[in-house]
Amino acid sequence: MSEYGKLWVVATPLGNAGDLSPRARGILIDADIILAEDTRRAGLLFKRLELEKKGRLMSFFEHNEDKRLPRVLDALGEGLSIALISDAGTPLLSDPGFTLVRACRDKGIDVSPVPGPSAPVTALSASGLPPLPYTFLGFAPRKKSQTKRLFEMHRDTGATLVFFERKSRLKGTLGIAFDLLGDREFCVARELTKEYEEFIRGTLGSLTDMDFELRGELTVIIAPPGETGDTTEEELFRMLDEEREIGGKPKEIAHRVADRAAGWTAKEVYATMRSLK
């Protein structure tokens, strides 16, 4: 039997409190120490989850991970149970924790995952874009030159690309993607599992049609080449007939058809409708 305690890597809700698993709840209640990116946010999370913890919170983020590591390993050496969480979702995916997990593995300390919500997988599962293969890129780099290199590295892999981006840089990043990757389908998922959850789909060649005034956390998905423009004009006309039977104003119909038609924007569908008159 190991003389060490155990490190639990615990996934927490992205937004909906109901997504916390019973197992995760029990581990967070019983842990001696809970490592959190932001202890204030963690405290608010526990309050929202109505979770009474017995252990203490310890900050564990990008800029103090190396400094905290010896202290955490000592605590595990004393047989304590430690839970690692991020602000939301699954730890280590663009969040701190890799150095700790690797150090635990090297020392023979048990590390056990408590799976649950994950923004990349959640967004991909409901995006309508090809789920396999996919590559998760983490947060898009801050510098344009680094973003260009990143897209160049993954341009010819044939994989769907998934990454996080901040709203202030979304337009520029998608523009770089168009220049480097060509006209591919994309989806921006925001506020996952929350009240204002939204999936915004389009093509990189039609960014002028997109509203970039988006709030909340953003997960971006870009389809592999060959997935755009799949809907033929004949298929488009059939969709138009079906949506016209349902009814609505021309622009409403155009938006509904654009949601169904790969490679067509609402503006293009509306122009096609007008040309048929």
Q: Looking at residue 30, which CATH number applies to its domain? A: 3.40.1010.10
Kindly report each contact of residues 230-238 with a partner whose C-beta sits within 8 Å and lies 24 or more positions away, as own/partner: 230/262, 230/263, 231/260, 231/261, 231/262, 231/263, 231/264, 233/272, 235/261, 236/261, 236/264, 236/269, 236/272, 237/276
| Last residue within a domain, chosen from 87, 117, 147 | 117
pLDDT of 1:
45
Is residue 246 domain-resident? yes
Residues 218 and 239 in one domain: no
The model scores a pTM over 0.75:
yes
Based on the fold, state whether residues 95 and 142 are members of the same structural domain: no
Assign residue 203 the CATH number of its domain: 3.30.950.10
Assess whether 194 and 150 both reside in one domain.
Answer: yes
Question: Do 21 and 57 belong to one domain?
Answer: yes
Q: Residue 48 falls within a domain, yes or no?
A: yes
Contacts of 104 (CB under 8 A, 6+ apart): 7, 73, 76, 110, 111
Residue 190 inside a domain? The answer is yes
Determine how β-strand 198-203 pairs with β-strand 185-190: antiparallel
* Residue 261 confidence (pLDDT): 78
| SS3 assignment for the chain | CCCCCEEEEECECCCCHHHCCHHHHHHHHHCCEEEECCHHHHHHHHHHCCCCCCCEEEECCCCCHHHHHHHHHHHHHCCCEEEECCCCECCCCCCCCHHHHHHHHHHCCEEEEECCCCHHHHHHHHHCCCCCCEEEEEECCCCHHHHHHHHHHHCCCCCEEEEEECHHHHHHHHHHHHHHHCCCEEEEEECCCCCCCEEEEEEHHHHHHCCCCCCCCEEEEECCCCCCCCCCHHHHHHHHHHHHHHCCCHHHHHHHHHHHCCCCCHHHHHHHHHHCC
Taking only the tens of pLDDT, the chain with its 277 residues reads 458 899 999 999 999 999 999 999 999 999 999 999 999 999 999 999 999 888 899 999 988 989 999 999 999 999 999 999 999 999 998 888 999 999 999 999 999 999 999 999 999 999 999 999 999 999 999 999 999 999 999 999 999 999 999 999 999 999 999 999 988 999 999 999 999 999 999 899 888 877 788 888 899 999 998 755 567 777 788 889 888 889 899 999 998 888 877 768 888 888 888 887 6
The reply to whether 34 and 107 lie within a common domain is: yes
Sequence letter at residue 233: E
Q: Cα(43)–Cα(254) distance, rounded to whole angstroms?
A: 46
Asked if the structure places residue 237 within a domain, the reply is: yes
Residue 1 is assigned to a structural domain of this protein: no
- In this prediction, residue 242 carries a pLDDT of 87
The verdict on 93 and 180 lying in the same domain is no
* 195 and 134 assigned to the same domain: yes
End residue of a domain, out of 117, 132, 161: 117
Joined together, the tokens standing for residue 31 give: 């842990």
Q: Does residue 227 form part of some domain?
A: no
Q: Do residues 237 and 215 share a domain?
A: no
Number of domains, the chain:
3
Q: Is residue 228 part of a domain?
A: no
237, 261: one domain: yes
Q: Last residue of some domain: 100, 117, 134?
A: 117
Unique residue bearing structure tokens 């979304």 = 170
For residues 101 and 269, what is the distance between their CA atoms, to the nearest angstrom? Answer: 51
d(CA 108, CA 209): 54
Residues 113 and 15 in one domain: yes
Identify whether residues 39 and 68 lie together within a single domain.
Answer: yes
Domain span including residue 28: 6-117
Please indicate, yes or no, whether residues 260 and 171 belong to a single structural domain of this protein: no
Is 208 a member of any domain?
yes
CA dihedral sign, ordered 128, 133, 136, 141: negative
